[in-house]
Structure formats: structure tokens, C-alpha cells
Amino acid sequence: MSEPRLQPIKLDAYKPLREVVFETLREAIITGKLEPGERLMEIQLAEEMGVSRTPVREAIRKLELEGFVVMIPRKGAYVAGISHKDITDVFEVRAALEALAAGLAAERATEEEIENLNRSLIAYSEQTNRQNITGIVETDTDFHDLLYKCSRNERLIMIITHLREIIQRVRTVSLSQPGRSKDAIEEHRQIVDAIADRNVELAQTLAREHIYNAENIMLNSLKGAKQEK
């Protein structure tokens, strides 16, 4: 990195330093300031952000868990790449699993769980209005986790958990695109309404369309990034 691309960290009284550093690095990866395949040098990153190496090291470990970073033995940490095939493979699986989860939720969700889904929509809207990408990703993740729980299918939840790292990365990139989070809220609301109405087929269709919409947003963002280069 020849020129500093990260701004010095501004301390947030409500968040620990390691969390602020993590969010800063994740945002840099999402926006392309830190490019796929680029090596992450702890010393350089720490100097640019005006922090010690410890929170940077902790942030890199967390980024690895979420699929944003890969650790190569004896070489170090690198920004993980994401291919067109990675995206289509993940979304094909997600579309099937989300549709299954939504259909099962329409059959099995309790009234309390449906109320929790509605509460999740409110929290999601609040974060969207604040334009807080970290909060948006977290509340989107919470919504889908609640949906899986409503399915009452432990195997389905297990499969989704194995895909969590790559799902989280594509989710973050997709929701970072202008207007996507507002559209996602409405799509979530329609899914919840179908579940509340016990309409299995409609819930499945809406969940599948929701994932396809996210995939299209993701692929278009990659096309745009390539054209800019």
C-alpha cells in the first residue's frame, strides 16, 4: 500500500476499540479500498488507523471468521477474493434453503415467533433510517436467523451455519448498495405476512424471490466495479 487509504480511528464511546477497527477494515474491504488478494500488514494498518497492532490483529481474526480474509500459512492475511461462481453457487443454495425455511415457518411458527419477526422488521427499519451498514447487516442477519428457527428443522439450520461466512460477506456487499436495504425490508415484510397467513406456497415464492433479488444486486455491483477499473 503506497498511500494511506484508511483514516485514523475516531473513538466511539459506545464501542470497544477492537470493534471500531473491525468495522473500519470490513468497510474498506466492501468499498474496495482494500482489494481482493491484497496482503493485510498489521503494522501498516495500525499506523494508518493510529492504533496498536493488537486490535488490528483481533479484527483480522474476526474478518477471517466472516469470510472477508484468508490466512495463508507462512505468508499472512489476505483479503479474500469472491468469484462470480462463488456468488451463483451460494445463492442457488440459499434460494432453496430460504424457500424451505419460509414454507416450514408458515406451517410451524408460533404467534410469538411471528411477533418476533415483526419486531425484527422494526429494528431493521431503524438501522436503515440511520444508514448504519453494520446495524443493517446485523438486523438482516437476525431476521434470517429467526426465520430458520421458525422452521423447526435442525438440519436446515446446520447447513445454513456451514455457509454462514460466505453468506455474511455477500450479504454485506449486497446491503451496501444504494436502496437495497429499503427494498429488503419490504421483501421481508411480505414474507412475514405470508407466514402469518399460513400461506406456505406464497412464503416459499417470496423467500426465493428475495434471494434472487439480492443475487442480482450483488452481481451488478461486481460488474460495475470491473467497469470502473
pLDDT digits (tens, 9 = 90+) for 36-82: 899 999 999 999 999 999 999 999 999 998 888 999 999 999 998 87
Of 101 and 164, which is predicted with more confidence?
101
In percent, the amount of the chain with pLDDT more than 70 equals 93
Domain ranges of the chain: 17-79, 84-228
Q: Quick one: pLDDT at residue 68?
A: 86
Q: What is the arithmetic mean of pLDDT over 159-185?
A: 87
Q: Quick one: pLDDT at residue 147?
A: 97
Q: Quick one: pLDDT at residue 1?
A: 43
Q: How far apart are CA 162 and CA 154, in angstroms?
A: 13
DSSP assignment, residue 85?
H
DSSP assignment, residue 70?
E
Q: Quick one: pLDDT at residue 38?
A: 94
Q: How far apart are CA 106 and CA 109, in angstroms?
A: 6
Q: Quick one: pLDDT at residue 85?
A: 87
For 4-28, how does the pLDDT look when each residue is reduced to its tens digit (9 = 90+)?
Answer: 677 777 766 578 898 999 989 987 8
Reading the block at residue 22, the C-alpha cell is: 473491525
Reading the block at residue 78, the C-alpha cell is: 489476505
Q: Is the pLDDT of residue 128 over 70?
A: yes
Give the closest residue to 133 by CA, choosing from 175, 167, 180: 175
When pLDDT is cut at 50, 70 and 90, the band that residue 107 belongs to is very high
Weakest mean pLDDT among 73-77, 86-90, 155-159, 207-211: 86-90
Q: Is the pLDDT of residue 218 over 60?
A: yes
β strands within 100-185, DSSP E: none
Reading the block at residue 153, the C-alpha cell is: 428443522
When pLDDT is cut at 50, 70 and 90, the band that residue 109 belongs to is very high
Name the pTM for this structure. 0.74
Q: What is the fold, at CATH topology level, of the domain defined by 17-79?
A: Arc Repressor Mutant, subunit A (1.10.10)
- Tell me the CATH class for 84-228: mainly alpha
For 158-168, how does the pLDDT look when each residue is reduced to its tens digit (9 = 90+)?
Answer: 999 888 777 88
Q: How far apart are CA 24 and CA 105, in angstroms?
A: 36
